[in-house]
């Protein structure tokens, strides 16, 4: 829901940084992999309950995720790059709640599992529609420079990052935040299924 506004806010500095990265000869896919490696580092931090450190790695991952797309638009968007980017994104999204589960299984296991379950709903509805939209040459008027169709919803990337920030700042309330965000994710999934089916039909 907020991604279209967030993109406008960060576009300027991200594009400037992308030009500098491009001049060094670094490829967009390499930026994607570096961002994912930073994202992976949040897991041991979460498991050790070093939530401030984990938050730093989460934010680094998200910043670099925005950067790789900007570099790709300079160097040329590819299907392989889009595939790599979205796959690693969804792995990262599931890794964060898993880290909280490992940190405190007794308190967080069920809520964490439910949040990951909700991510399966938003992710599968997103990717399934993107595949069908590509087959039918349906273009998204909002995200025209993406490698695949970005289906919007109540919970998008910006909202997910805000959720992760809250989880790191208030880990004692993990279950409450996780259940609340998972419920919002299911609203997104339900509306995507309905809208996607009607559009394709």
pLDDT band at 63; cut points 50, 70, 90: very high
Domain boundaries, the chain: 3-200
- On the question of pLDDT at 177 being above 90, the answer is yes
Give the pLDDT confidence score for residue 157 in this predicted structure.
87
The residues, any chain, with a CB within 8 Å of residue 86's CB and separated by 6 or more, are: 127, 148
Domain 3-200 has CATH 1.20.120.1760: yes
DSSP state of 136: T
CA–CA dist 31, 64 (Å, integer): 7
What is the mean pLDDT of the segment spanning 101-126? 97
């Amino acid at each position: 829901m907020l991604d279209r506004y967030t993109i406008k806010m960060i576009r300027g500095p991200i594009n400037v940084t992308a030009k500098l990265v491009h001049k060094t000869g670094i490829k967009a896919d390499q930026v994607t992999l570096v961002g994912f490696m930073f994202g992976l580092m949040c897991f041991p931090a979460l498991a050790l309950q070093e939530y401030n450190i984990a938050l730093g790695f989460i934010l680094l991952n998200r910043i670099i995720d925005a950067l790789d797309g900007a570099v790709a638009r300079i160097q040329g968007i590819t299907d392989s790059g889009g595939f790599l980017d979205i796959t690693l994104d969804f792995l990262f999204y599931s890794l964060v709640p898993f880290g909280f589960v490992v940190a405190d299984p007794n308190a967080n296991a069920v809520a964490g599992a439910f949040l990951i379950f909700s991510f399966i709903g938003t992710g599968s509805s997103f990717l399934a529609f993107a595949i069908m939209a590509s087959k039918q040459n349906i273009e998204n008027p909002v995200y025209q420079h993406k490698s695949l169709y970005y289906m919007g919803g109540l919970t998008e990337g910006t909202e997910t990052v805000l959720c992760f920030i809250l989880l790191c700042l208030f880990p004692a309330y993990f279950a409450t935040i996780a259940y609340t965000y998972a419920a919002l994710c299911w609203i997104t999934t339900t509306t995507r299924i309905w809208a996607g089916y009607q559009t394709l039909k």
